[in-house]
Structure 1
Amino acid sequence: MTTLAIDIGGTKLAAALIGADGQIRDRRELPTPASQTPEALRDALSALVSPLQAHAQRVAIASTGIIRDGSLLALNPHNLGGLLHFPLVKTLEQLTNLPTIAINDAQAAAWARVSGAGRRCNRDGVYHRFHWRRRRCSERR
């Protein structure tokens, strides 16, 4: 099953198609909208996922801020400020027509580390702490 993984941060939005084998199949990045309005975030997410969604069966989101009942509460005014109670899961379900889950990015990184998923390495690198950067096997601990 292929997952459309999304990372929502204060400076960039990133998305990747992750195959059942854990390999990154495709990825994209866009800047986080400067206007910090719900409409701007929805439009940016739509642009981010539209080229990828047809190849996925589900969506998983890691986001800065508090995730409660599928909604994003961005409390830091310098980091997605102004987005109180943004319906993150509902928005992505509407954009993709796929089942969607969301979790805070720090919680996602902790889960990956504890479960061992954050320690895997392959020829393309690992999805390390929910950032799209390549790492060589020799760089891991």
Structure 2
Amino acid sequence: MQTDLVAALDIGGTKIAGALVDDHGRILLRAQRPTPAREDGNTVMRAVEAVLGELTAAPLWDRARAVGIGSAGPVDASTGTVSPVNVPGWRDFPLVERVRAVTGGLPVELVGDGVAMTAAEHWQGAARGHDNALCLVVSTGVGGGLVLGGKLHPGPTGNAGHIGHISVDLDGDPCPCGARGCVERIASGPNIARRALEDGWRPGPDGDLSAAAVAAAARAGDTVAVASFERAAQALAAGIAATATLVEIDIAVVGGGVAKAGEILFAPLRRSLRDYATLSFVRRLTVAPARTGTDAGLVGAAAAALTRDRDVSPL
């Protein structure tokens, strides 16, 4: 017996990926285009349409029953629009309406990319079996999403759980979002590298200025590099503990490029969490690395569409 499929889109500043996904989270067909992020909005949309065109042209498309979109944000699911910071041509862009037109009027579920990653981790990854979870993407920015009461909780606009813009340093550096001392301003990859450079770290002969290079230096014992990761871990711990205190999550799953630093990040994160998650009902909170990898956006977008379609978790 052939099962229904969902179409998934994972839209970021670098690539636009699409897939047809079954109800076990298996990707049966893929398509991808570079994101023309510096072009006008319609040019970006043509890249989305090219990805969807590959999917709709395939024989498997006849089994597609819904579309899930995980997009760089901000997104607004209540209006079906997106305004990704890293795609300036899209401001209040009517993405849901345009995708619906290309896909023959299929139902479309839009969530932020952090929420999509959360859906993937709850369905297939480290948050599986947890009814209350926070999942974080720590990369160029810091995003996240929530599972509450066993269900994905995207919130009215699809942005709930966006931990990157919790302020954890009231007099801290201004954040591009307009606030001060946000988690993202301290813990994102570019800010880990910026702080290390400001404090005296210097890259190797290859000139690599990335957070991955800082992590490699930390592994080699560079004290400035270690300190920059410890500061990032402290900010993440404060944000995670605040979220746990508010909604009683029992696990925080951390993914994204910065999480690839491994114990350089996770060891100080666990230590700092003990300093912030002090109340009795959050002391059992655990932290785990994400498991769904580079397909998290696609699998999570599919999970979000399945959740909406059935009003249940796809587990």
**Fold match, TM over 0.5?**
yes
Aligned to 2:11: 8
- How far is 1:118 from its partner? 2.8
Partner amino acid for 2:113?
A: D
Report the secondary structure of 2:97's partner residue.
helix
Partner amino acid for 1:57?
A: R
- Is residue 2:105 matched to residue 1:95? no
How many residue pairs match? The answer is 124
Aligned to 1:39: 42
Aligned to 2:92: 85
- How far is 1:58 from its partner? 1.2
Gaps of 5+ in 1: 133-141
Contact 1:70–1:87 (Cα < 8 Å) also in 2: yes
Partner amino acid for 2:69?
A: I
RMSD: 2.2
- How far is 1:35 from its partner? 3.9
Aligned to 2:24: 21
Report the secondary structure of 1:81's partner residue.
coil
Bigger Rg, which one? 2
TM-score normalised by structure 2 residue count: 0.36
Contact 1:109–1:118 (Cα < 8 Å) also in 2: no
Partner residue of 1:70 out of 60, 64, 80: 80
- How far is 1:126 from its partner? 4.9
Identity %: 33
- How far is 1:65 from its partner? 1.1
Report the secondary structure of 1:50's partner residue.
helix
- How far is 1:110 from its partner? 2.0
- How many angstroms apart in 1 are the aligned matches of 2:29 and 2:119? 23
Report the secondary structure of 1:65's partner residue.
coil
Aligned to 1:49: 52
Contact 2:120–2:292 (Cα < 8 Å) also in 1: no
Aligned to 1:129: 296
Gaps of 5+ in 2: 129-290, 300-315
After the TM superposition, list the runs of 4 or more consecutive aligned residues in structure 1 that deviate by more than 6 angstroms. Answer: none
Higher helix share: 2
Contact 1:13–1:31 (Cα < 8 Å) also in 2: yes
Higher strand share: 1
CA pair 116-24 structure 1, distance change in 2 beyond 3 A: closer
- Is residue 2:273 matched to residue 1:106? no
